[in-house]
Amino acid sequence: MLKRYKDTDAPVVFLSPGDIWFGGGHKVVRTLLGSCISITLWNRAHGLGGMCHYLLPEQCDKPHRHLDRPGYYGSQALAYFEREANLLGLSVSSFQAKIFGGGNMFYGIERKAGSVNISARNIEWARQALAQRNVKVVAEDVGGHVHRTLFMEMWSGDVWVRQGDAPKSH
Conformational region of residue 87, where left means phi above 0, alpha means psi within -120 to 50, and beta covers everything else: alpha
pLDDT at residue 71, rounded to an integer: 77
Asked whether the beta carbons of 43 and 129 are under 8 A apart, the reply is: no
Tell me the residue length of the chain: 170
148 burial via Cβ count (<10 Å: 0-12, 13-18, 19+) = buried
Q: Considering the entire predicted model, what is its pTM?
A: 0.85
pLDDT at residue 1, rounded to an integer: 33
Angle (CA) 103 105 107, round 5°? 110
Parse the chain into domains and list their residue ranges: 3-169
pLDDT at residue 43, rounded to an integer: 97
pLDDT at residue 3, rounded to an integer: 39
Q: What is the CATH number of domain 3-169?
A: 3.30.1330.200
pLDDT at residue 166, rounded to an integer: 44
Q: For each of the chain's 170 residues, which pLDDT tens digit applies? A: 333 455 568 889 999 999 999 999 999 999 999 999 999 999 999 999 999 999 888 766 555 555 566 678 999 999 999 999 999 999 999 999 999 999 987 665 555 555 568 889 999 999 999 999 999 999 999 998 888 999 999 999 999 998 864 445 55
Neighbours of 153 (CB within 10 A): 19
pLDDT at residue 110, rounded to an integer: 53
37-43/28-33 β-pairing: unpaired
DSSP string for residues in 116-140 = --HHHHHHHHHHHHHHHTTPEEEEE
